[in-house]
Amino acid sequence: MEPVVIALASNEPYFPGLCCAVVSALSHLDSTREVDFKVLDGGLSPESRSALSRLIEKFGECRLEVVTVDPSVFSKATLGPGKSHMTYCRTLLPQVLNVPRLIYLDCDVLVFRDLAKLFDLELPPGKVLAAVPDSETPTLEDDSRAIAAAMGLPADGHYFNAGVVLLNLDELRKQNFTKRSLEFFRDWKGHYRFWDQSAINFLLHGRIAELPEHWNRAAWRFDEQDDNDLDCVLHYTRSVPWLGGMPGPAQVLFERFAADAGAPVNRQIAAFKQSRRQQFFRNVLAPVRALAFPVLSLFYKIAGQKEKCAGYRKAAWYWFYYILNAPRRRRLHHRRAREIQGMRFKLSACRSAT
């Protein structure tokens, strides 16, 4: 069978996540399958590149190709996470990698399923990629009503998360996807909300096949579970777990996994401490937001600004339920955190990798 091709993109600040994503993917992959990792390097240090090579060498039939990319080609795009343009690099995949198809993973994922089963899926006719519907942005208008209208797309069109995608690169090359993406970032700067994910959804609307939720489960959904059952690709959509994350079972799970994988989270770095301070003030301000956001929603309704009205109304309900469920959530999270500390992961092949 053909090798499973998996691509990721990283710079130095995201290297801890890259390592954990690679280790988790390899630990759950069918041992009879070869795997080719393609890493788009947007600023990894020589030490990190060497560490990644040593890590992958510990697993059987694995190959690594590191491709240097220059995020400055996206200088006309809105800055992405980490105040960089690194997130846009996945739109370069059809241009910089000469393979027919691959799985793309964000660095902020932990894999607890066999990715070979995803790689072997046949895309339906007319579809160029497969992804999971976004759990927080269900429609195109939730990203940008203006772009949807200008492109003649339905405001309620389905919207997908691009953290885990199966890509047909041959078809994307035929459609000049990379070139069109660069034009999209330039022409719509300041209008799209989710960087390269916006380009994927608007430019490829109608050509995206839907995957089951277990291929890309948001970490906050894991936090809302009543148990710690894992048979998914867990995606840390709201935070960067090695730089602080959000307190909850998913964060405990990442730190527990990273420690077993030989890349423990450093809680003493400035970014982690700053994140914890932000979480403290987030909780302190929760009652204020629950009271103020309905008023703001009403104000924007009177002003005729429907998007902002809907946004603040949605946020108001979020904070209301956040406060209401706080006691139960705290008890549940404490119990699940204790259970996670006792978990054992399938990492025997890579314990000495780092």
- List domains and CATH numbers for the chain: 4-215 (3.90.550.10)
Distances (CA, A) of 171 to 196, 200, 260: 18, 14, 39
d(CA 49, CA 52): 5
Distances (CA, A) of 192 to 52, 88, 148, 178, 265: 34, 13, 10, 17, 32
| Paired sense of beta strands 129-133 and 208-210, if any | parallel
d(CA 23, CA 298): 48
The answer to whether the beta carbons of residues 5 and 99 sit under 8 Å apart is: yes
> What is the b/e burial string over 234-271, where b = at least 16 CB atoms within 10 angstroms of the residue's CB?
bbbbebbbbbbbbbbbbbbbbbbbbebbbbebeeeeee
Q: How many alpha carbons fall within 13 Å on the CB side of residue 38?
A: 20
Name the strands in the sheet holding 233-235, side by side, starting at the edge strand that comes first in the sequence: 109-111, 233-235, 217-218
**Residue 124 backbone phi and psi in degrees, to 5:** -65, 160
d(CA 89, CA 126): 24
The answer to whether the beta carbons of residues 237 and 163 sit under 8 Å apart is: yes
d(CA 51, CA 49): 5
The answer to whether the beta carbons of residues 12 and 45 sit under 8 Å apart is: yes
The answer to whether the beta carbons of residues 77 and 193 sit under 8 Å apart is: no
- Helices (H) and strands (E) in the chain — how many of each? 13, 10
d(CA 213, CA 133): 8
Per-residue DSSP letter, 75: T
Which residue, chain included where needed, has tokens 């139960």?
328
| pLDDT tens sequence for the chain (354 residues) | 899 999 999 999 999 999 999 999 999 998 889 999 999 999 999 999 999 999 888 877 789 999 999 888 998 888 888 788 889 999 999 999 999 999 999 999 999 999 999 999 999 999 999 999 999 999 999 999 999 999 999 999 999 999 999 999 999 999 999 999 999 999 999 899 999 999 999 999 999 999 999 999 999 999 999 999 999 999 999 889 999 889 999 999 999 999 998 889 999 999 899 998 999 999 999 999 999 999 999 999 999 998 899 989 999 999 999 999 999 999 999 999 999 999 988 774 443 344
